[in-house]
C-alpha cells in the first residue's frame, strides 16, 4: 500500500523557536496533502490543504503566518511552526491523496509529536 512518512517523529523545542515537519509520500505522487492537528484524546482537526505548486488553503482559525506550509514537489510537503509556544504542543499528522487515485483515499503519516517548553 501507499506509504507516507513524517520527519521528525518527535521534537522538543524551546518557546520562540521554529520547527519544520516534513511529510513525504514514498511510493506515489500526491498533488494534495493535508495537515491535521490532534490534541490528546480528541479527533483530528484539519489545519490546511496543501496543493503542489500553489498556496495552501487554511481552515478558519488557523494562522497562516504561524503555520507555514510549502508543497514544493509531488512527494513533499512541509509544515513550519514559527515562533512556537507551549500551546502549539500537539500531535501533527499529515495525509496525502494519491494523484489520480480512485475513491479519494488519503494515506496518513505516522505523526509528529511536538512539545514546546
CA torsion angle 59 56 41 104 (round to 10): 100
Neighbours of 82 (CB within 10 A): 15
* Minimum distance, C-beta of residue 97 to other proteins, in the bound complex (Å): 6
Q: Which residues contact 83 (CB under 8 A, 6 or more apart)?
A: 16, 17, 18, 66
Selected binder of other proteins within 25, 98, 109, 114 (CB under 8 A): 109
Residue numbers 44-73 binding other proteins by CB under 8 A: 44, 46, 49, 51
Report, in Å, the least distance between residue 22 CB and other proteins: 14
Nearer to other proteins, 61 or 103 (CB): 103
Amino acid at each position: 500500500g501507499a506509504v507516507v512518512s513524517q520527519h521528525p517523529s518527535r521534537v522538543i523545542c524551546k518557546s520562540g523557536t521554529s520547527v519544520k515537519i516534513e511529510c513525504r509520500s514514498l511510493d506515489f505522487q500526491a498533488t494534495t496533502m493535508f495537515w491535521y492537528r490532534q490534541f490528546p484524546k480528541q479527533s483530528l482537526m484539519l489545519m490546511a490543504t496543501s496543493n503542489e505548486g500553489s498556496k495552501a488553503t487554511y481552515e478558519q482559525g488557523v494562522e497562516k503566518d504561524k503555520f507555514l506550509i510549502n508543497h514544493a514537489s509531488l512527494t513533499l510537503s512541509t509544515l513550519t511552526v514559527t515562533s512556537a509556544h507551549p500551546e502549539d504542543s500537539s500531535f501533527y499528522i499529515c495525509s496525502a491523496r494519491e494523484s489520480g487515485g480512485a475513491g479519494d483515499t488519503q494515506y496518513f503519516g505516522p505523526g509528529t509529536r511536538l512539545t514546546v517548553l
